[in-house]
Amino acid sequence: MLALLMSRFPLSLAAALLAACGGASAAPPTPAPTVAAPAKPPPPPPVMQDPIIVVGAGAAGLAAAVEAAGAGARVVLIDRSTVFGGHAVDSDGGVAMVGTPLQQAVRLTDTPALAAEDLMTSGQDADEDWVRRYAERSRPDVYDWLTAMGVEFTGVIQLPGNRVARYHRTRDGGLGLVAAMYRNALALGVELRTSEDVNDLIIDEGRVVGVRTRGIRDGRDRMRRATAVILATGGFESDLERVRQNWPRGTTPPDRVLTGSGRNSRGDGIDLARQARAALHRMDHQWNIATGLPDPRNPDGERGLEAVVPRSIWLNRLGRRFVDENAGVRVTYPAVLHQPGGYFLAVVDADGARALSIAAPDWGDPGRIDREVLQNSLLVARGNDLRALARAAGIPSARLRRAVAVLNASGGPFRIERAPFYAIRLFPLARTSLGGVAVDENAQVVNQDGDPVPGLYAAGEVTGYAGINGRAALEGTLLGPSVLMGRIAGRSAAARATPMRPPHAVSNVHVEARSADFADSTCTRCHPIEALSLERTGWQHLAAAHRRVRAESIPCSECHADMYPYREQQHRRDRLLESTTCRRCHESR
């Protein structure tokens, strides 16, 4: 009965009924009144400070985001693409560094002074202060920092322009380098906003205090306030009109130039910086190469691929051999510009055709090169003998046969003698901007009066790598300076922000690739592959990936194990796990 009463009535009423029923012989004494202690006011809610906004998720942007977040700052990383990595993810990931354990392991002596001399000699008008800074800091600020995240450098080689071997190869190429930074960014709480264009800076009394953006997929306009903005948007080499406007002084652009830079490298960061009256420098400095192959996947004919043709002779459209093919890009590229039409034919035989490669991670399959390039009559002429090749290529037969005969008699490392024979038409390829937004030693943008722009920083190719390369890049001096500059920009911006969390060092964020076993229909009943393969604004990466899925019959489970087992109410992306699936297309070359 007592339990029933207690369960059905408030405590005070139940107590009264209990007393009335004889449950107690007398009412308990009235307790003495007490004075309640004043209530302790709740702590005020934390003030959510405006974040540091990083524009661009390539090597420089990821480095900046990780550095700032590691210092305790709140960071928002914005990219117009749907994925991380920028143009760096398509690179071979090589980095030039000085005094590393890999160099020491092969008893190689390298010093910052020696590296600085090589950079200054190669670049011709490189920025001496930034050159010295990179040479001195590449070991602790690039090599040590990246290896702490799990980036693995597999060897060191010597390349032209360097008096010692300092080009460090990276396991898994550019993907191996940027994925480690991306995973650290996620682990440090960086907020990633993809498919979003930054259209304007918000400037208040000369200080940059935010950005205005527009969603590429949803068309929604947003205003994002910021403690500081870091521009890491890449260069302008994918805007061929801008490439021609800033063509290197003293030379004339050829009739046709291809672009081989990242699709989003269109100079947007330069335009944003101009809104804050940023100074520009070295805008006519471009690192372009001679061996551009029109990309067979690109319908407008503007995009190109870097072809590597080691067993070839180069003939102009008149059939004349015009350069030593092994002389290096600083010799071969100007020679190509002086040829009629500004292009040339790389002639190879069957052995040379097998040696042909394309410097892009998704072209590692020789069968694909054969199908889409060597058998493509719009790109390559073919003949079972040299006379037939000359007819197909439209060059004088006698000159072609004479050039091949001279090569074969020279005693060189290869001969051209095994049918079939090929003539691959190649064009100048716009690759990298070596000029851009001017910055000071803190990676802070400077205006046209030479004063720092409050709240605005920049790093990587948008700055022309701060002039580290001058007019001519050495191999490995693009990614390395991007990482160094990104770290400097992130550190400088974070120093002006109130930390939102304790500082945290980078680490090897290990993510185990997951395997799953499920039928394609688990995905395709809602997401038909044909629809996913269609080219749409804001969905380019998705479309390209699924076109490859269709072409190679790749099962859905290979890329989407993070969503297995499927639960309708928990059908969410796992960005960390997603980063393990990129290797399928971005495998090391």
The span from the CA of 240 to the CA of 427, in Å, is 14
- Residue ranges of the chain that CATH labels 3.90.700.10: 290-430
Contact 93, 177 (CB under 8 A): yes
The span from the CA of 457 to the CA of 406, in Å, is 55
Whether pLDDT at 13 is above 60 = no
pLDDT at 305: 95
- Residue ranges of the chain that CATH labels 3.50.50.60: 52-92+180-251+264-270+434-494
Whether pLDDT at 131 is above 80 = yes
Residue from 238, 202, 192, 207 nearest 55 by CA: 192
Whether pLDDT at 22 is above 50 = no
- Strand 344-348 versus strand 313-315 pairing type: antiparallel
CATH class of the domain comprising 52-92+180-251+264-270+434-494: alpha beta
pLDDT digits (tens, 9 = 90+) for 47-67: 557 999 999 999 999 999 999
Whether pLDDT at 395 is above 90 = yes
Going by the DSSP 8-state scheme, the letter that residue 469 receives in this structure is T
pLDDT digits (tens, 9 = 90+) for 101-122: 999 999 999 999 999 999 999 9
DSSP string, 227-264: SEEEE----STT-HHHHHHTPPTT----S--EE-S-TT
pLDDT digits (tens, 9 = 90+) for 499-517: 988 999 999 998 877 787 8
Going by the DSSP 8-state scheme, the letter that residue 569 receives in this structure is G
Token pair, residue 87, equals 């143009």
- Strand 452-458 versus strand 304-308 pairing type: unpaired
The span from the CA of 482 to the CA of 490, in Å, is 12
**Higher pLDDT, residue 12 or 214:** 214
The span from the CA of 381 to the CA of 389, in Å, is 7
- Strand 95-96 versus strand 167-170 pairing type: antiparallel
Topology of the domain covering 290-430: Flavocytochrome C3; Chain A, domain 1 (3.90.700)
Q: For residue 558, what pLDDT band results from cuts at 50, 70 and 90?
A: confident
Sign, CA dihedral 296-300-303-304, equals positive
Q: Count other Cβ atoms within 10 Å, centred on residue 221.
A: 10
Going by the DSSP 8-state scheme, the letter that residue 57 receives in this structure is -
The span from the CA of 503 to the CA of 68, in Å, is 9
Evaluate if pTM is beyond 0.85: yes
Contacts of 153 (CB under 8 A, 6+ apart): 95, 100, 102, 143, 146, 147, 168, 169, 170, 171
The span from the CA of 377 to the CA of 425, in Å, is 10
Query: 């399959």: which residue's tokens?
Result: 365
pLDDT at 48: 56
Whether pLDDT at 530 is above 90 = no
SS3 26: coil
pLDDT at 522: 82
pLDDT at 3: 39
pLDDT at 301: 86
Contacts of 280 (CB under 8 A, 6+ apart): 270, 273, 274, 435, 436, 437, 438
Token pair, residue 289, equals 């190469």
Query: 């802070």: which residue's tokens?
Result: 444
Instruction: Work out the average pLDDT over 395-404.
Output: 97
Residue from 157, 67, 186, 199 nearest 482 by CA: 67
Instruction: Work out the average pLDDT over 483-502.
Output: 95
Q: Which residues pair with 169 in a beta bridge?
A: 155
Whether pLDDT at 561 is above 60 = yes
Whether pLDDT at 589 is above 60 = no
**Higher pLDDT, residue 46 or 131:** 131
pLDDT at 37: 52
pLDDT at 417: 96
Residue from 564, 562, 563 nearest 579 by CA: 562
pLDDT at 532: 84
Question: What is the signed CA dihedral for 60, 64, 67, 72, rounded to 10 degrees?
Answer: -160
Contact 130, 116 (CB under 8 A): no
Could you give the strand order of the β-sheet that contains 52-55, starting from the edge strand earlier in sequence? 191-193, 75-78, 52-55, 228-231, 452-458, 444-446
